């Protein structure tokens, strides 16, 4: 069942069928309707590879994420939500989606770039901070439009979209302040990662704005995982000037801090309030449930797709501005009014 067969049965030429189905103007309404009807009756679907070949565009974009993390057993609970958001946003824009595999160490440096060319991909969306990868750097350095969600690469035709990490952190601190807390400490992520640095900046900004003192020992660096939050919490709770609240730059670390409080015989939120960042699944499963700054995954996905489309059909006029997506505070039991 190809366009020729459909043309034969409609009594017109393949050119007319193509024009009819592609909503071109040079075809009468009558024949267009007839062809449409016959096409859907016969279940005709145009062959995409052939279209791609002649049009020299595939309406397809590639998606890639850092699976190195999972390989090391570290799930990023956000990936799935981002994936779905990107997928629906792309399909609404009539793009197809191809999953690229993160090149391992044994791959060629050009593996990613080659994959893009092989499939005529019109752009690539990169999820989460990837390892310091040469493949990815090569891709970003090329003229292939790239949108990165929470990634830090730069290139001639790249755009970065990320949550408003600083504002989110401010939200958290503001909330704790409103609950009466004045001694608020923080556990950061690895500070060489942009999101971690931005969340710290937001924390500091809020503290100065609110007139809160931030002794240097109130800022401890973690690695986004449970254990680091627990040990950081333990250190913070042993301080002479013990904080009454902790803002952790990641939910796992926040849960770790809650464990540290329990270890010290302190109650949450009575003796220590905790606010995290990300709203992972576990946040609503632990007890007390974790207050946290939720990222807008759908918004991130839509922003990435919108930016990418801009990059695709616009000339590379200027380095695209990063797109910032607002966050939202979710208040749960771990920061309710002090008892």
Partner DNA sequence: GACCGTGCCGTAAACGTTTCCGATCGGCGG
Partner DNA sequence: CCGCCGATCGGAAACGTTTACGGCACGGTC
Binding site residues, its own copies, CB under 8 A: 43, 45-50, 52-53, 58, 63, 67, 70, 75-77, 79-81, 83-84, 87-88, 91, 96-99, 101, 110, 113-115, 117-120, 226, 252, 255, 259, 262, 280-282, 284-287
Backbone φ and ψ of 318, nearest 5°? -145, 160
- Residue number, 192 or 287, with CB nearest to its own copies: 287
Q: Where are the beta strands (DSSP E) in 34-190?
A: 60-65, 96-99, 124-127, 146-149, 158-163, 184-188
Q: State the Cα–Cα distance between residues 261 and 334, nearest whole angstrom.
A: 12
Backbone φ and ψ of 33, nearest 5°? -65, -45
Q: Which does 16 bind (CB under 5 to 8 A by kind): its own copies, DNA, none?
A: DNA
- Closest contact distance (angstroms) between CB of 65 and its own copies is 9
Q: Are 235 and 191 in contact (CB under 8 A)?
A: no
Q: Which does 19 bind (CB under 5 to 8 A by kind): its own copies, DNA, none?
A: DNA
Residue 2 within binding range of DNA, rule CB under 7 A: yes
- CB count, 10 Å around CB of 75? 12
- Closest contact distance (angstroms) between CB of 79 and DNA is 33
Torsion of CA 248, 253, 259, 262, to 10 degrees: -10
Q: Which does 119 bind (CB under 5 to 8 A by kind): DNA, its own copies, none?
A: its own copies
Tokens 């990435």 belong to residue: 304
Q: Which does 21 bind (CB under 5 to 8 A by kind): its own copies, DNA, none?
A: DNA
Residue 116 within binding range of DNA, rule CB under 7 A: no
- Closest contact distance (angstroms) between CB of 48 and DNA is 8
Tokens 């595939």 belong to residue: 58
Residue 51 within binding range of DNA, rule CB under 7 A: yes
User: How many residues does the structure list for the chain?
Assistant: 339
Q: Which of residues 10-49 bind DNA (CB under 7 A)?
A: 11-19, 21-22, 24-32, 44, 46-47
Name residue 146's beta-bridge partners.
124, 158
Structure tokens at 304: 């990435």
């Amino acid at each position: 069942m190809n366009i020729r067969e459909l043309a034969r049965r409609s009594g017109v030429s393949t050119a007319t069928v193509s024009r009819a189905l592609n909503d071109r103007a040079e075809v009468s309404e009558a024949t267009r309707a007839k062809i449409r009807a016959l096409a859907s009756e016969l279940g005709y679907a145009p062959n995409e590879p052939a279209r791609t070949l002649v049009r020299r565009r595939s309406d397809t974009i590639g998606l890639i994420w850092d699976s190195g993390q999972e390989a090391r057993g570290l799930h990023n609970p956000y990936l799935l939500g981002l994936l779905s958001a990107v997928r629906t946003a792309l399909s609404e824009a009539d793009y197809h989606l191809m999953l690229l595999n993160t090149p391992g160490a044994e791959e060629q440096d050009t593996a990613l770039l080659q994959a893009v060319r092989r499939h005529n991909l019109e752009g690539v969306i990169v999820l989460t901070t990837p390892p310091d990868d040469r493949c990815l750097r090569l891709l970003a350095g090329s003229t292939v439009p790239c949108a990165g969600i929470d990634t830090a690469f730069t290139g001639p035709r790249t755009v970065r979209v990320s949550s408003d990490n600083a504002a989110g952190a401010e939200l958290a601190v503001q909330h704790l302040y409103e609950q009466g807390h004045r001694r608020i400490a923080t556990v950061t992520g690895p500070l060489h990662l942009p999101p971690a640095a931005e969340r710290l900046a937001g924390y500091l900004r809020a503290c100065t704005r609110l007139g809160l003192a931030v002794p240097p020992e109130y800022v401890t660096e973690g690695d986004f995982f449970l254990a680091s939050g627990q040990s950081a919490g333990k250190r913070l709770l042993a301080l002479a000037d013990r904080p009454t609240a902790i803002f952790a730059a990641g939910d796992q670390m926040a849960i770790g801090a809650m464990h540290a409080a329990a270890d010290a015989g302190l109650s949450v939120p009575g003796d220590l309030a905790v606010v995290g960042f990300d709203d992972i699944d576990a946040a609503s499963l632990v007890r007390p449930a974790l207050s946290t700054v939720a990222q807008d995954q759908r918004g991130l996905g839509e922003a990435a797709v919108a930016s990418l489309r801009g990059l695709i059909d616009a000339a590379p006029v200027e380095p695209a501005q990063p797109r910032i997506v607002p966050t939202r505070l979710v208040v749960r039991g771990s920061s309710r009014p002090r008892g």
